[in-house]
Amino acid sequence: MTDAIIVINSGSTSLKFGIYELDADKTLPLIITGGIDNMSTQPHFIAKTADGKPIDAKEWGDHQPMDHKKALTFIIDWLKGHEKQIEVKAAGHRVVLGGTRFAQPTVLTAEIIDYLDDLKRMEPSHQAYEVLGARAVAEVFPGLPQVAVFDSSFHRTMPEVAQIYALPKKARDTGVRHWGYHGISYDYIHRQVPKHAPDARRVIVGHLGGGASVCAILDGKSIETSMAFAGLTGLPMSTRSGDVPADVLFYLVRSGAYDIESLEKALYADGGLLGLSGISGDMQELQASADPNAKLAVDYFVYVLVKTIGAYTALLGGLDALVFTAGIGENSSIVRAAVVEKLEWLGLKIDSAANNANNIEISTPDSKVKVLVIPTNEELMIAHHTFELTHNNA
């Protein structure tokens, strides 16, 4: 029998999972990965080995929607039937926001799940669905230890001045503060940097994907990050606007162009790269397009990214390493080259061949700043934190 941890990432219409073996040396190797997509319309399941070879698949067809409980029940039953040698000992969840109570990963209870569910008022795009995943596990697998690993935790080391807004106390007392996200990814990346830049103290990481942010890390601790109160602010993203002046939002409502609901949709679902280009929120598609609006969207993304890196370099008092990660960061040599070119004044130099090959180190030997491309692994970080909090029972 193989003891294992299941890592669950619950979305609005998907439930992804990874199975990690509780091995003797605590490396937690990935055994199986998979999930159910399009749960609300045409659910389909797929499971693969760690190296990407398909194990099994199933389609339910049109008009057979499933909720998170049904999806998780199917996955657990599939594991019991198809992978009889695996015994799940604990479950780990990515949860974006831990609120004021949780600066570190925590073992979930019914009361804590209720608290985290209440935070969906702050972060509406992810929190509710991640809590649904935890509730589903509690129902389908009663008694199984569950751990929430928070995207906001890594940023609780930011200085107080970086965590507040210049608002009246009444507003701040409602929980309004600079939370910061993508912390699980940054937690993983900052542990990898010393393998490639052992002397780097001042590090900036760009987690650049469908959701995108930048983090300034000093001596392994976050001191600033671009995604702020919820998952909307900071860099422009695939469909999320990034920073927009507050007075613009007031104007759009007062003018009658938008009400609150339609404005929220414009900012979260119709903005960002999609909103600027009018074509797509996919960076690869935009880079391949000859449409000038596609070029404008890419140029804007690079512009805001460079502006943010420049500001964070000032906060750090210099820069020792710049790291690109996540979908765009790991795969777009065009974006990386454009960013480094605009930062040459800092002493950054890029090796074009290494960059085009998506090598880990893409800076030249004489570059004053290491430029790295490090694939992130949020699921492994969740598995490790889950193991640390539940290993006595695993």
325 found inside a domain:
yes
Q: How far apart are CA 76 and CA 394, in angstroms?
A: 18
Residue 208, marked binder: yes
323 found inside a domain:
yes
303 found inside a domain:
yes
Give the domain range for residue 252.
197-378
Residue 344, marked binder: no
Taken in order 303, 188, 93, 39, the sign of the CA dihedral is positive
Low-confidence stretches of the chain (pLDDT beneath 50): 393-394
Residue 378, marked binder: yes
Residue 83, marked binder: no
Residue 293, marked binder: no
Residue 392 confidence (pLDDT): 53
Residue 207, marked binder: yes
What is the number of structural domains in the chain?
2
Residue 167, marked binder: no
Q: Where is the domain boundary, 150, 182, 216?
A: 150
The bridge status of strand 44-49 relative to strand 30-37 is antiparallel
At 238, give phi and psi (nearest 5°). -55, -55
- The verdict on 39 and 141 lying in the same domain is yes
Residue 330, marked binder: yes
The CA–CA distances, whole Å, from 312 to 206, 223, 308, 309 equal 11, 9, 6, 5
Short-list 346, 342, 362, CA closest to 354: 362
223 found inside a domain:
yes
- The verdict on 141 and 226 lying in the same domain is no
Taken in order 369, 372, 378, 381, the sign of the CA dihedral is negative
Interval 350-376: pLDDT, tens = 999 999 999 999 999 999 999 999 999
- The verdict on 202 and 116 lying in the same domain is no
Let me know: does 178 contact 297? Beta carbons within 8 Å.
Answer: no
Residue 377, marked binder: no
Let me know: does 298 contact 176? Beta carbons within 8 Å.
Answer: no
- The verdict on 301 and 369 lying in the same domain is yes
Interval 281-312: pLDDT, tens = 999 999 999 999 999 999 999 999 999 999 99
Residue 186 confidence (pLDDT): 96
| Residues facing residue 194 across a β-bridge | none
164 found inside a domain:
no
Short-list 241, 77, 221, CA closest to 162: 221
Residue 163 confidence (pLDDT): 95
Residue 254, marked binder: no
Q: How far apart are CA 130 and CA 126, in angstroms?
A: 6
Compute the radius of gyration of the chain from its Cα atoms. 21
Q: Where is the domain boundary, 119, 150, 181?
A: 150
320 found inside a domain:
yes
SS (H, E, C) 216-236: EEECCEEEEECCCCCCCCCCC
Residue 331, marked binder: yes
180 found inside a domain:
no
Q: How far apart are CA 262 and CA 266, in angstroms?
A: 6
Residue 167 confidence (pLDDT): 94
Residue 12 confidence (pLDDT): 66
- The verdict on 19 and 106 lying in the same domain is yes
Residue with tokens 């029940």: 73
- The verdict on 266 and 326 lying in the same domain is yes
pTM for this prediction: 0.90
- The verdict on 243 and 368 lying in the same domain is yes
Residue 194 confidence (pLDDT): 96
- The verdict on 10 and 142 lying in the same domain is yes
156 found inside a domain:
no
- The verdict on 239 and 312 lying in the same domain is yes
- The verdict on 319 and 235 lying in the same domain is yes
CATH number for the domain including 35?
3.30.420.40
- The verdict on 240 and 367 lying in the same domain is yes
Q: Where is the domain boundary, 150, 184, 205?
A: 150
Residue 227 confidence (pLDDT): 93
- The verdict on 272 and 356 lying in the same domain is yes
Catalytic positions:
151
